[in-house]
Amino acid sequence: MERITTRARQLVAAVGLVACLPAVAAGAVRLEASEDVFVDVGYLLQPHLVLGNDPTAAPEFTSDFYLRRSRLMLGGQVSPFVSFFVATDMPNWGKGGDWSNPDLLVQDAVVSFGAHEAFRVSVGMLLIPFVHQAKQDPGTLHTLDFHDAVLRSPTGVARRDNGIEFRGLLAGGRLDYRVAITNGVAGTPHDIPRLSGRVAVNFADAEPGLFLGGTHLGDKKVVSIGAAFDAQPEAFGGADAYYAFGGDFFLDVPMGGNRLSSQVNYVYYGGSANPDAGMGVLFDLGYAIGKLEPLVAVDWFMPRGAAGGDDHLFGGHVGLNWWLIGHRASIKLDLGIVKEPGEGISNAARVATIQTQLLL
């Protein structure tokens, strides 16, 4: 009887752990050594065709074809209690016509431990927890790409960092917490690490994976509100700390055969020596009718000390997503106008981008 009970517990733990693996497993090729030991092999390809007109640059009109992402992904588990995810990438390969010396990166390298959804530990190269948009899986993005005009990090440190993350779902999935301790900016006077985290309330389905979803394409009903922080003392030397906080509202709900998807993220970046200090808002809204989804998106960022509207960053976008085979094969069209700080709206760049995505 004890052996049966132990086996049942292991099976329950295995099911819970598989449910928390990255989304790559959904369309990946699985290699199994046993029921409890397997590897999912996936690949993400995102070619971009970009046509731009920038009155402040020479030449004013440009065209560019490059690979925004070419990412090999491995995910799986070595026991019912230990899972892993590794991804390499060659971001922006060929951008500006430069196809020489591709920059091959290890984007993610994470080992996760846990037997219950309430508490899991992940170590390695992490996508740090912050507002919802910053923690999303790039293969499931709702918009063409991340709202990078608004999402910032300490100087010399990306949104990925080496360290440890504690995460879990409480109250039947209603409460989602993620807290990470990572390296942050190296060489600070007392080598104090970076601390970041997000706590969210889920009003419908939870998002238990290592990453959050950009859109679940009707497979989940997600309505959540979150609060986040990111900080490191002495990040800019001496008493000059880096700190940031934010909040987010995320909505992704099926409506019959259609779907409504939207998010609003607010961010504030502080620190007396922080060159990216300021506040910003990102927003997107789309309504999918079958496989077609028209959408709009806005980026706005006000640097610290901005004197007026011309000192703000503004990006406005309209787009159309064609979900041919969901995330596995899609085409996205984005028409944007982007005004950099210090420029008037008459000098804003006009950009048209077409992205094709293949996700296995």
> How far is it, in rounded angstroms, from Cα 265 to Cα 89?
26
Return the pLDDT at 218. 93
Return the pLDDT at 350. 96
Q: Of 102, 158, 106, whose CA–CA distance to 128 is shortest?
A: 158
Mean pLDDT, the chain cut into blocks of 10 residues (360 residues total): 39 36 62 93 97 92 96 95 96 92 90 94 96 96 95 84 97 97 90 96 96 96 98 89 97 95 98 93 98 98 90 96 97 97 91 97
> How far is it, in rounded angstroms, from Cα 134 to Cα 155?
17
Burial of 158-179, coded b for 16+ CB within 10 Å and e otherwise, reads: ebbbebebbbbbeeeeeebbbb
Q: What is the CATH number of domain 44-65+102-359?
A: 2.40.160.10
Return the pLDDT at 58. 87
- C-alpha distances in Å from residue 121, one per residue of 117, 124, 181: 11, 10, 11
Return the pLDDT at 224. 98
List CB contacts of 256: < 8 A, sequence separation 6 or more: none
> How far is it, in rounded angstroms, from Cα 275 to Cα 94?
29
> How far is it, in rounded angstroms, from Cα 227 to Cα 49?
35
Return the pLDDT at 237. 82
Neighbouring C-alpha atoms within 13 Å toward the C-beta of 41:
4
List CB contacts of 330: < 8 A, sequence separation 6 or more: 321, 322, 323, 324, 356, 357
Kindly report the pTM of this predicted structure: 0.89
Tell me, what DSSP letter sits at residue 93?
Answer: B
